[in-house]
Amino acid sequence: MVNDQPLVLSASVEHWPIAGTFTISRGAKTEAAVVVVELVQESVQGSFRGRGECVPYARYGETVEAVVATLDAAKSSLKRGLDRTALQRAMPPGAARNALDCAFWDLEAKRAGRPVHALAGLPAPAPRITAYTLSLDTPDKMAEAAARSAARKLLKVKLGGDGDVARIAAVRAAAPQSDLIVDANEGWTAANLEANLAACAAARVSLVEQPLPAGRDDMLATIARPLPVCADESVHDRASLGALAGKYDAVNIKLDKTGGLTEALAMVAEAERLGLQIMAGCMVATSLAMAPAMLVAQRARFVDLDGPLLLARDRANGLQYRDSQIFPPTPALWG
């Protein structure tokens, strides 16, 4: 745009303590390391700033250092006019593109004086019921955690170890009224898959996420699944949807996997066309990472955007959580 200055990108690493310890089948952590992108543009209308947040994930070969390096390398492309549309081709799906894509959306909204949902041609987002995650632990410890959260409408139960049949039974007994999602994080095997699925069905679990390792999940197409099974690690963007046929009933769409809101919204439409249920998921991060995902959540059967609830504190102007509901962001946060 004439008289506009080139976009200036900065990327910073932030460490947010987790309240206690967050444990899944692959291990435990006590903090969330996130990368925050800020895009600033000076124009004749004034100075505008857009932000995005991502979580580099070792499971996908990402590191904080590599993500920051990727973003730093994009500075020269921005000077040559890289925009959000071109970004989809210039950078592969993943955490780095997610942060930059979401920063572009935020900047566009600030410049236009219109919310992101309007720019995307979507209705205004409404509050949604979000899951609250229970970390993997012993059956007794998980039952105690479930009892403390039994008033919540939707609980996500981390499994993926020996003794999962006892764990899910203990959680169900402690939270008899809550809707339950189970996430095995690739932790089950061909030997225990059917027994664990049967235990989940007996416990009235509504959905099981990623029971088998990605790339070793063909067995899901050969058994009678007693409840819906959702792909997480087995699905990233639209290009990966085709491989799910016959194995999965739902997809967990996370912006750190899709590479941002742009691809996530396109992936929602394609997944719906294929007859797959939608789950809106997240990594453990602050409200800045959850805010764009609220637009995906509007089309989701299951919403799991509880990242800030797992932290010891959230950033300023964070999302509002009330009981089991999560509310859309204000422009002071994003969008």
3-state secondary structure of 14: strand
Task: Write out residues in the chain with pLDDT < 70, as ranges.
Answer: 1-3
This prediction has a pTM of: 0.96
Cα–Cα distance, 142 to 283 (Å, whole number) = 21
Select from 3.40.50.150, 3.40.50.300, 3.30.499.10, 3.20.20.120 the CATH code of 128-326. 3.20.20.120
Q: Which residues contact 40 (CB under 8 A, 6 or more apart)?
A: 7, 8, 10, 47, 48, 49
Task: Choose, from 110, 156, 247, 254, the residue flagged as catalytic.
Answer: 254
Q: How far out from the chain centre does Cα 171 lie?
A: 23
The pLDDT assigned to 26 comes to 82
Is residue 158 flagged as an active site residue? yes
The CATH homologous superfamily to which domain 8-113 belongs is Enolase-like, N-terminal domain (3.30.390.10)
Q: What is the per-residue pLDDT across 63-122, written as a single tens digit (0 to 9) for each?
A: 999 999 999 999 999 999 999 999 999 999 999 999 999 999 999 999 999 999 999 999
The pLDDT assigned to 3 comes to 57
Number of neighbours of residue 101 by Cβ within 10 angstroms = 27
| Per-domain residue ranges of the chain | 8-113, 128-326
Is residue 254 flagged as an active site residue? yes
